[in-house]
């Protein structure tokens, strides 16, 4: 019991240090440019208004889906930096499909989600296949695929999209297939999007997959030691392609809550950067379903609450990007330090016990 408590304490130590560190750096940066850190923190820590609370929940959902997508790769030892490209091209495809209204009502929504997953999986699959067959680092290929996805979507949008003033977007969803959501406060405060539930499903699914299935075991095994996995009959190449595609399929869902909730088309309302936030949150939450939930909530809170800064203070909202970045860097560094420290503690404990037993027998 004591040992368990200690290990939980050690696990929480790293994020705690990281948060303190990022608060410190943010404060210093704000003070360095001559603004007031006190005002900044008091604005940030005010209880958010109902409207912002709704936004925080919605953003948490999307960031969480992205984090799970990243974590699937991480647990396998793959670095899927291409979430950004995967969800861009998947969101565009799903929005185009949904806008074309081949199906009506709920069937349209379901089919569009499938389209998003398939496209995301296919786009990630390119990197997976290149890695498995040609040994191309997935980091480099997904960076390239990100750029290609963004330009490709731009091309299709400019040539086949609906032009409206200066902006271009895909066809609006037919009126029967927007899902709206649930408004916990007054109507003007907005809805929690119906598809935010996808985040819950993805989170539970991720937990069950890793801990309750053969595939999850294979995935974790390959991530920890490829040779051990190979020895126990796992085909590493197959695992690379499958887990990459799985990661891409989940990535395809990232923006779906917004599409069917508020956006209704792919255009200026498309939110970029969720992929990189997802990677950051996966790192912050140690690829654990619960850890990532807290990470996603923290990042969503920072991003949404920073909107208040424009009214009360002279600090610009982009400061929270520094806070987020520092938090990620600090958390990975402190995890590493804690890990080394823990190893040393264990080594010491083992040597103590060894000397004790040998001393007794002698």
Instruction: Name the residues that contact another protein, by CB under 8 A.
Output: 29, 33, 35, 79, 81, 130, 134-137, 139-141, 143-145, 147-148, 151-152, 154-155, 158-159, 276, 279-280, 283, 315-316, 318-322, 324-326, 328-329, 332-333, 336-337
C-alpha angle 273-279-280 in degrees, rounded to nearest 5:
90
Residue 213 or 316 having the CB closest to another protein: 316
Taking the complex as a whole, the smallest distance from the CB of residue 265 to another protein amounts, in Å, to: 20
CA dist 110 to 171, 199, 308, Å?
18, 15, 36
Q: In whole angstroms, what is the distance from residue 159 CA to residue 203 CA?
A: 37
Residue 195 or 309 having the CB closest to another protein: 309
Taking the complex as a whole, the smallest distance from the CB of residue 155 to another protein amounts, in Å, to: 4
Q: In whole angstroms, what is the distance from residue 272 CA to residue 27 CA?
A: 27
Residue with tokens 């404990």: 349
Contact 45, 266 (CB under 8 A): no
In eight-state DSSP terms, residue 263 is: I
Residue 25 or 162 having the CB closest to another protein: 25
Parallel/antiparallel/unpaired status of strands 167-169 and 192-193: unpaired
| β-bridge partners, 162 | 169
Q: In whole angstroms, what is the distance from residue 243 CA to residue 252 CA?
A: 14
Q: In whole angstroms, what is the distance from residue 36 CA to residue 269 CA?
A: 33
SS3 state at 159: helix
Residue 97 or 276 having the CB closest to another protein: 276
Taking the complex as a whole, the smallest distance from the CB of residue 318 to another protein amounts, in Å, to: 4
Residue with tokens 């993805």: 202
Taking the complex as a whole, the smallest distance from the CB of residue 327 to another protein amounts, in Å, to: 9
Taking the complex as a whole, the smallest distance from the CB of residue 279 to another protein amounts, in Å, to: 6
Residue 175 or 318 having the CB closest to another protein: 318
Taking the complex as a whole, the smallest distance from the CB of residue 79 to another protein amounts, in Å, to: 5
């Amino acid at each position: 019991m004591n040992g368990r408590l200690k290990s939980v304490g050690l696990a929480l130590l790293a994020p705690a240090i990281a948060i303190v560190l990022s608060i410190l750096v943010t404060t210093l940066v704000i003070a360095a440019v001559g603004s007031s850190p006190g005002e900044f923190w008091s604005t940030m820590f005010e209880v958010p208004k109902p409207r912002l609370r709704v936004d925080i929940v919605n953003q948490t959902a999307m960031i969480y889906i992205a984090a799970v997508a990243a974590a699937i790769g991480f647990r396998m030892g793959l670095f899927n930096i291409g979430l950004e490209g995967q969800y861009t091209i998947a969101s565009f495809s799903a929005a185009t499909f949904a806008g074309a209204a081949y199906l009506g009502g709920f069937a349209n929504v379901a089919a569009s989600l499938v389209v998003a997953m398939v496209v995301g999986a296919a786009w990630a699959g390119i990197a997976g296949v290149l890695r498995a067959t040609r040994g191309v680092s997935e980091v480099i290929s997904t960076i390239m695929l990100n750029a290609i996805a963004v330009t490709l979507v731009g091309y299709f949008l400019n040539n086949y999209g609906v032009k409206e003033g200066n902006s271009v977007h895909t066809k609006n969803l037919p009126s029967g297939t927007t899902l709206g959501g649930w408004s916990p406060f007054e109507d003007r405060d907005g809805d929690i999007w119906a598809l935010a539930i996808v985040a819950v499903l993805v989170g539970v699914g991720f937990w069950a997959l890793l801990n309750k299935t053969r595939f999850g075991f294979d995935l974790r095994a390959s991530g920890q030691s490829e040779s051990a996995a190979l020895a126990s009959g796992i085909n590493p190449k197959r695992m690379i392609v499958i887990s990459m595609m799985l990661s891409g399929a989940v990535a395809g869902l990232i923006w779906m809550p917004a599409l069917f909730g508020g956006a209704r088309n792919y255009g200026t309302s498309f939110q970029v950067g969720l992929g990189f936030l997802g990677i950051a949150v996966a790192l912050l939450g140690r690829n654990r379903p619960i850890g990532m939930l807290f990470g996603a909530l923290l990042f969503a809170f920072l991003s949404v609450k920073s909107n208040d800064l424009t009214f009360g203070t002279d600090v610009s909202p982009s400061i929270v990007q520094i806070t987020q970045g520092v938090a990620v860097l600090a958390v990975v560094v402190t995890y590493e330090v804690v890990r080394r420290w823990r190893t040393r503690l264990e080594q010491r404990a083992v040597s103590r016990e060894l000397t004790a037993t040998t001393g007794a027998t002698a």
